[in-house]
Structure 1
Amino acid sequence: MKNNKLFILIIVSLIIGIILGGIVHYQMPDSIDVFSKNIKLLGTIFIRLVQMIIAPLVFSTLVVGIAKMGDMKMVGRVGGKAMAWFISASLISLLLGMVLVNFFAPGKGTTIKLEDTSSASELLENSKGFSLEEFVK
């Protein structure tokens, strides 16, 4: 019953979000910019809170798991298998993504005007450290 309550709360929240978005879009079109900035702030806070919780949770789970195993050979075997699964799953998903993008060519033939790139410029500035653009030149 407890799992059903969480599921119901998620569905109700989704419906409330859709209704709120519709109200803002159709009833108050002049306040869309202010509303979207406030919602973006709320989303950013939520993502940062989740990131703040995930790192200690994963670390503590790994430490407790290794401590309960006791045998270092078993830890090595399990760690090796986990790394093999992670690397193989990553390679398969990357290869599948590359094949599907080259086969379906999403975005081909679209005529999207890139006049307003203000939202993308923030992303580009924040991700400069992850780019290989400087090394390619």
Structure 2
Amino acid sequence: MFIKFKISNRPIAPHLLVYTPQLSSLFSIWHRISGVGLAFFFTTFLIFIRIILSSNFACNLLTLISFEISQWIIIYFNLFILLFLFYHLFNGTRHIIWDFGFLLDIKYLSKFSLFLLVSLSLILIFQ
């Protein structure tokens, strides 16, 4: 049995490299990554707010001012958070629509994928 697989140069067990990635699977993976990124951001944001609102507000404010974070870092950070948020929102909406059994055809998948990419591009342009 194993000789047949060695002759045809096919792997014995299925592997990720055997399958071509589908558009829906890539969107699903990026949906999970954006969810983890948003969870990390909001957790960090809440910790940051907790530090600011502690009893040593003046000392904490002076410490934050002394960091002198570059304006470009803040702009890019806001841009990534905005992209993660809108991607997660649009892709989550697509999953909810699919859960109700609508738009499950391949042609709708490609149209929604195009809509998702165009909307994220517009967010990048007009941010």
Verify same fold: TM over 0.5.
no
Q: Whose helix proportion is higher, 1 or 2?
A: 1
Q: Which has the higher contact order (CA 8 A, sep 6+)?
A: 2
Normalising by structure 2, report the TM-score.
0.43
Structure 1-normalised TM-score? Answer: 0.40
